[in-house]
C-alpha cells in the first residue's frame, strides 16, 4: 500500500462532555487537541487524528480501538489515574500483552505492547 490508502485515518467518538474527554485522554496518553467550536474537538496522538463530538448520541460498543504502549504497566496506571475503568487486566496473547478499559463515556478500548 502507498500513502494512506486502506489505513485507519480518523476515529470519531460521540461524547457527553468534550472537556472531560480531553482531560482523560490528555492525562492518560498525552494527546493534544484542537477545538472547532463547542460541539467538536480534534485530537492528535502524534500519528493518528480523530475527533470528539457532542452532535451524536453517546453509545458504548462499536469497533475496538487499540492503542500501542511501550510500557504497558505504566499505561494501565495512567488510565486508572485518569479515571478509566479497567475491564480486562493485562493478559498475554500471541504477539504481546494487552488490557481493556472503559473511558468516561463507556467506550471500550485496549492498550497493547509487544513486551
pLDDT digits 0-9 by tens, 6-50: 777 889 999 999 999 999 999 999 999 999 999 999 999 999 999
* Contact present, 76 and 90 (Cβ < 8 Å): yes
Q: Is residue 58 part of a domain?
A: yes
Query: What are the two backbone dihedrals, phi and then psi, of residue 7, each rounded to the nearest 5 degrees?
Result: -120, 150
Which residue is associated with the grid cell 511501550? 70
pTM of the full predicted structure?
0.81
Which domain does 53 fall in, by range? 11-113
Q: Is residue 54 part of a domain?
A: yes
Say how many domains are in the chain. 1
Q: Is residue 49 part of a domain?
A: yes
Q: Is residue 83 part of a domain?
A: yes
- Long-range contact set of residues 54-61: C-beta below 8 Å, sequence gap at least 24: 54/14, 54/15, 54/16, 54/17, 54/18, 55/14, 56/14, 57/14, 58/14, 58/15, 58/16, 58/105, 58/106, 59/14, 60/102, 60/105, 60/106, 60/107, 60/108, 61/108
pLDDT digit string, tens, across residues 44-72:
999 999 999 999 888 877 788 989 999 99
Amino acid at each position: 500500500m502507498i500513502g494512506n490508502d486502506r489505513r485507519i485515518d480518523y476515529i470519531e467518538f460521540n461524547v457527553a462532555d468534550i472537556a472531560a474527554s480531553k482531560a482523560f485522554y490528555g492525562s492518560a496518553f498525552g494527546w493534544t487537541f484542537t477545538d472547532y467550536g463547542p460541539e467538536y474537538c480534534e485530537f492528535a496522538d502524534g500519528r493518528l487524528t480523530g475527533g470528539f463530538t457532542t452532535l451524536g448520541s453517546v453509545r458504548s460498543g462499536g469497533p475496538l480501538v487499540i492503542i500501542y504502549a511501550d510500557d504497558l504497566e505504566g499505561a494501565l496506571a495512567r488510565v486508572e489515574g485518569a479515571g478509566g475503568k479497567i475491564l480486562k487486566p493485562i493478559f498475554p496473547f500471541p504477539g504481546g500483552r494487552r488490557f481493556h478499559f472503559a473511558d468516561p463515556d463507556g467506550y471500550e478500548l485496549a492498550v497493547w505492547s509487544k513486551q
